[in-house]
Amino acid sequence: MSLDPQARALLDMVYRVGAPRFHELSVEQARRSMEKLLFAFRPDAPAVASVTEVPIPRGHDGVLLARYYRPISAEPGTRLPLLIYYHGGGWCIGDVSSYDVACRELANFSHCAVLSVEYRLAPEQPFPAAVNDALLALDWAFDNADLLEVDSESIALGGDSAGGNLAIVTALQARNRSGPALRHLLLVYPSTEMISDRPSRTTYGDGYFLDRESLVWFYERYVPQGNTDDWRASPMKADSLVNLPPMTLITAGCDPLVDDCLAFADRVRAEGGSVVHKNFEGMVHGFFTLGKYFAQANQAVEYAGQAIRDSMFGS
């Protein structure tokens, strides 16, 4: 598949100026680089009804921070469905502030409340810290539905890239212990399997933004002990994918992870699950949050929000 001309222009600009790739940076440099990219190319922030900083108690480990959005359409006191969102960034970079615009858009398009989770990052807090935080956010939201003015029986999980991985893993953990029940999964080019030899890893592994060396850089920091076969790191390795909620899968055509995503979707369907897939041809990994630069990003966010809205309210 050929690159979209706009994506080619962005990559040409990045590589022409010799900008270092993620694996050539320190963790702090990579975090600043990601933040600059998102702030430069994200759309203007739309108004929402309210934004609230939420501290979630983590026992002896302090608090898990989250940001809670209610859509512009929400009337005061109205109990809403809830989307819990986990940001991308290879479990090492990215944060709630960088994803502020995307979560505002998802809230408004879905007509649902959104809880954006500031899970702990590697390498300071490697696997399974992020996994534990992701599940804690779900449990806390379920237990505090009245406080949030949300419907505890209408909760969806979502995320992009590493965040999509956390959404899948959290749904599997919730299924394994019989609750809380989830209504939907929104997965944007999720990482489903760390070690893979599917063709897209080679085809798009160099010069398409998320290089193969950068993938290794992220994986080694997130799972430094090398246990990439643990299903909580690679959910494709789970013994069963049955009884997961219906899924919306968004992929980028020129992404080294795209074949892993498709294999995961095929397995979910083979085990009786439902997956609606939308591919954005010519796009690269990470495009979803770059709506100031890619028209397709705006289309993808609106599509995602509508999918959540349909799952919660009916199409």
Active-site residue numbers? 161, 255, 285
Pairing type for strands 50-57 and 63-70 reads antiparallel
What number of residues does the chain have? 315
The rounded distance, in Å, linking the Cα atoms of 268 and 244 is: 8
The rounded distance, in Å, linking the Cα atoms of 118 and 6 is: 31
Q: Which two tokens stand for residue 68?
A: 């809670």
Under a CB-based contact definition with an 8 Å cutoff, are residues 143 and 71 in contact? no
| Residue carrying the six token digits 């209408």 | 154
Helices (H), 144-273: 145-148, 162-176, 199-203, 212-222, 258-270
- 238: Cα within 13 Å, side-chain hemisphere: 23
| Residue carrying the six token digits 């302090």 | 62
In sequence order, the 6+-apart residues with CB closer than 8 A to the CB of 1 are 253, 254, 281, 282
Question: Cβ atoms within 10 A of the Cβ of 97, count?
Answer: 14
The rounded distance, in Å, linking the Cα atoms of 141 and 146 is: 9
